[in-house]
Structure 1
Amino acid sequence: MRFAVCMKNPERFSENSLQSEFEAALTAIRLVLSIAEYSDD
């Protein structure tokens, strides 16, 4: 699916991909931090 979109519009795909990857990373970091804080207590 992602590959097909990339072939149709590479520029837009790379921008959207970077944005979503960044948001996913932030979400993962927040999740890890919240788990760490919870286990510290």
Structure 2
Amino acid sequence: MDDAASKLQTAQFEQWYANNWRTTADIVDNVFKYDAAA
């Protein structure tokens, strides 16, 4: 794989990872709020 394609793939993975991390954090946050309200 050439360098440019490798960098692009890494950037896409990092973006995907960041989006998933944010979603997971939101879910965890909501679970804690739900637990606190229960």
TM-score normalised by L of structure 1: 0.77
Identity of aligned residues (%): 14
TM-score normalised by L of structure 2: 0.82
Tell me the C-alpha RMSD between the 2 structures: 1.3
Gaps of 5+ in 2: none
Higher CA-based Rg: 2
**Higher relative contact order structure (alpha carbons within 8 Å, sequence separation ≥ 6):** 1
Aligned length: 35
Gaps of 5+ in 1: 1-6
Which structure 1 residue ranges, 4+ long, deviate > 4 Å from structure 2? none
